């Protein structure tokens, strides 16, 4: 009288982990994970490298402003370089280059402080994108001598 129908004949989805044909799909998810993982890791590492570069650039910008302000009040080139290096304690001092133009010049003239820095990359994944495995960052500040 009454026929008993199973879920499969009604077109309902099969049990979790088993396809409609009765095969398990656990290998498929492993393959999908293996395909997505390198892309996800590259994205995360790229965000980390970008954050490090942005932090270093902001530090350089601030240090160049400190150096220009120090120069504007009549400091010597050596005093300016000490002030700049004191303003960048988180960066590698050996990779930092400080150039001061017109330090100790006549009042009203502009003094320029330029900083160049080679930020080494943490991940070897991005080293082909940067010559020498480091990003070249620079910052410049100009102020009038008082």
Burial code (b: 16+ CB inside 10 Å, e: under 16) for 107-134 equals eeeebbbbbebbbebeeeebeeebeeee
Spatial neighbors of 34 by CB under 8 A, at least 6 apart, are: none
pLDDT at 98: 96
Where the chain has pLDDT below 50, the residues are none
* 91-109 pLDDT, tens digit each: 999 999 999 998 888 888 9
The pTM is what? 0.74
As a whole number, the mean pLDDT across the chain is: 86
Domain ranges in the chain?
26-144
CA distances from 37 to 31, 48, 66, 81, 89 (A): 10, 17, 44, 46, 36
């Amino acid at each position: 009288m009454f026929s008993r129908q199973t879920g499969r004949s009604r077109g309902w989805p099969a049990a979790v982990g088993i396809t409609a044909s009765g095969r398990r799909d656990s290998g498929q998810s492993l393959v999908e994970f293996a395909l997505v993982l390198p892309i996800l890791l590259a994205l995360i590492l790229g965000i980390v490298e970008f954050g490090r570069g942005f932090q270093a650039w902001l530090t350089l910008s601030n240090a160049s402003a400190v150096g220009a302000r120090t120069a504007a009040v009549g400091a010597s080139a050596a005093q300016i370089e000490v002030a700049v290096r004191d303003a960048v304690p988180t960066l590698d001092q050996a990779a930092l280059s400080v150039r001061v133009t017109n330090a100790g010049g006549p009042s009203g003239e502009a003094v320029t402080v330029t900083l160049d820095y080679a930020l080494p990359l943490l991940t070897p994944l991005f080293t082909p994108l940067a010559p020498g495995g480091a990003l070249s960052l620079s910052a410049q500040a100009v102020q009038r001598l008082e």
